[in-house]
Amino acid sequence: MSVNTTTTWCDPVTCPFCGDKLASPGAGFIDHIHDNTDCERGFDHWRENIAGDLAGEWSG
Ligand SMILES: [Zn+2]
């Protein structure tokens, strides 16, 4: 997994946008952004930025 492209995303169980602990890496983060509009927006923006590098990486 190569998510360390443009963001300071070094801890997979911590939300990089608000710093909250996640229940689990990946799936826990998806649940988290569903509950946190600001984080979801941040994630959408981040994903757009790296879309060229990681096409489809986060589609699950
Ligand atoms: Zn968050």
Residues 12-22 pLDDT 10s? 789 989 999 99
Contact by Cβ (8 Å): 39, 17: yes
- Report the alpha-carbon distance of residue 5 to residue 33 in Å, rounded: 20
The neighbourhood of ligand 1, an ion, using CB within 5 A, equals 15, 17-18, 20, 36, 39
CA of 38: how far to CAs of 4, 23, 41, in Å?
21, 18, 5
pLDDT at 42: 94
- 51: Cβ contacts below 8 Å, ≥ 6 apart: none
pLDDT band at 54 (very low <50, low <70, confident <90, very high): low
Looking at the DSSP bridge assignments, the partners of residue 14 are 21
Alpha carbon of 26 to ligand 1 centroid (Å)? 13
pLDDT at 26: 84
pLDDT at 8: 60
How does pLDDT run across 1-43, given as a tens digit for each residue? 445 455 566 677 899 899 999 999 889 999 999 999 999 999 9
